[in-house]
Amino acid sequence: MFTPRSIKHCRACGGVVRYATPADDNRDRATCTVCTTIHYENPLNVVGTLPVWEDKVLLCRRAIEPRRGLWTLPAGFMELGETTEEGALRETVEEAGARVELEGLYSLLNVVRVGQVHLFYRARMLDTDFVPGPESLEARLFAESEVPWDEIAFRTTKRTLEFYFADRREGRYAFHAADIA
Amino acid sequence: MFTPRSIKHCRACGGVVRYATPADDNRDRATCTVCTTIHYENPLNVVGTLPVWEDKVLLCRRAIEPRRGLWTLPAGFMELGETTEEGALRETVEEAGARVELEGLYSLLNVVRVGQVHLFYRARMLDTDFVPGPESLEARLFAESEVPWDEIAFRTTKRTLEFYFADRREGRYAFHAADIA
């Protein structure tokens, strides 16, 4: 979760930071009292996939906090040096050990409370030789009737799965956006 | 532009930072040598709109660097405390003084070189009473034949405009994704 006004020292010189509104700005920024560097804080992207094999979706059971033991889609923070698609593929390998082919951006979910934007890609699994990574206790394919709805780790995962099964019933997949309160 | 390994001091305690790979990670992170806080660096979102009035699009001429004097769509860094849509609307007001209604996410452009993801929403202008803000020299409506293609500030703007006019010729608007090398 993002903690507003959490910057206490300047990353450039180590000097003490003060929150104030710069002359050409309209909100408080962490500004170094020594070297005047301004440190911006902005939302981060979480990128992942919804891997599908036949009539089943692939979920991972989390081996780490938060929400250890609960199920989620493979996803994680986007890194510098990669595209959203590359990040989504990387997380799918890291967390589920799954080989997939992306089929387009499927959901964008704003989670303002924690300063995050979650982006999920629909993904076609190329085989079922998936192997959970160190951040997952297990990875398993679920038919719609088997999905452990009460044990899903994050609401962005739950909404994306709900979008998917609803779209599948209608026989067409559309991009979905939603805000998680 | 993001500058890798630019963190020199810890934002929590001001101590000297060292880039090293934490035990449970697979890439170097800025780690404080004093209090062990890890500082992550991730891509940022730029959010904006493609405002449309009848057969024209609204562009702003930049009053600030980079690319001062060149034309762009209203857009800027997404802030904490807002959704992607709220950020896109805010930037449209701040840079163009335009009142719009969003019509869905239109383009997602990865600009890996600078660690940015640009998200543009298609937007219907509610009137033509737009007023350029302090970051714009002017704002003006352009028919396709009038667009100053050689004076567009950013490639993400140019690609989004190209997507729009191509879609309009085909009579259907679809979400577009692209990577800017």
Instruction: Scan for tokens 């993400």, then name that residue.
Output: B156
Calculate ∠ Cα A132-A138-A142, nearest 5°. 105
- Comparing CB atoms, the residue among B9, B44, B177 nearest residue A13 is B9
Query: Within a 13 Å sphere around the CA of B115, how many CA atoms are in the beta-carbon half?
Result: 14
Give the minimum alpha-carbon distance from B175 to chain A in angstroms, rounded to a whole number: 8
pLDDT exceeds cutoff 90 at B119: yes
Q: What is the torsion angle, in degrees rounded to the nearest 10, for the CA atoms of residue A172, residue A173, residue A177 and residue B1?
A: -150
- Comparing CB atoms, the residue among B4, B82, B108 nearest residue A84 is B108
Over the range B120-137, which residues count as b (16 or more CB within 10 Å of their CB) and which as e? bbbbebeeeebebbebbe
pLDDT given at position A2: 58
Q: pLDDT category, B2, cuts 50, 70, 90? A: low
According to DSSP H, which parts of A62-129 are helical?
A: 84-96
Tokens standing for residue B89 = 């609307």
Distance CA A55, CA A101 (A): 16
What is the pTM for the complete model shown? 0.96
Extract the residue ranges of chain A whose pLDDT is less than 70: 1-4
Give the minimum alpha-carbon distance from A166 to chain B in angstroms, rounded to a whole number: 20
Q: Note the ipTM here.
A: 0.95
Q: pLDDT category, B24, cuts 50, 70, 90? A: confident
Residue B149: helix, strand or coil by DSSP? helix
Q: Within the 51-70 window of chain A, which residues sit less than 8 Å (CB to CB) from chain B?
A: none
The helix or strand, by DSSP H or E, that contains position A51, with its residue range, turns out to be strand A44-53
Residue B15 at interface with chain A, using a CB cutoff of 8 Å: yes
Q: What amino acid occupies position A78?
A: M
Distance CA B25, CA B10 (A): 19
